[in-house]
Amino acid sequence: MTEWYEDPRDRPPPIEVPHTELSPEALRGVIEAFVLREGTDYGERDIPHDTKLAQVQRQLERGEAKILFDPVTESVDLVVTNKVRPPSSS
């Protein structure tokens, strides 16, 4: 049962879960749920499922995405962060 909060400020915030703290199986499950979510758009090209999984895995490793656990809904979400990698100087 989801609790109702009269004031949204009383709602506990989501908790970041480091991807390195999940087992490989759990991490793959979180990534697959995100990739398979209806409405996820990868552009005009059709990208193979395994490629999509690898892309999200790399985003997590680079800090461009993070995993959040919502204690109210007891659900997990994967979100893009605002971290931008500086261009490499070659």
Q: Is residue 4 part of a domain?
A: no
CATH number of the domain enclosing 38: 1.10.10.610
Give the global pTM: 0.73
Q: Is residue 56 part of a domain?
A: yes
The total of other beta-carbon atoms located within 10 Å of residue 19's CB is: 20
Q: How many domains does the chain have?
A: 1
Alpha helices (runs of H) in 5-46, residue ranges in sequence order: 24-36
pLDDT digits (tens, 9 = 90+) for 27-77: 999 999 998 885 555 566 778 889 989 999 999 999 999 999 999 889 999
Full residue range of the structural domain in which residue 34 is found:
12-80
Q: Is residue 73 part of a domain?
A: yes
Name beta bridge partners: 50.
none
Q: Do 53 and 46 meet the contact criterion of CB atoms below 8 Å apart?
A: no
Q: Is residue 19 part of a domain?
A: yes
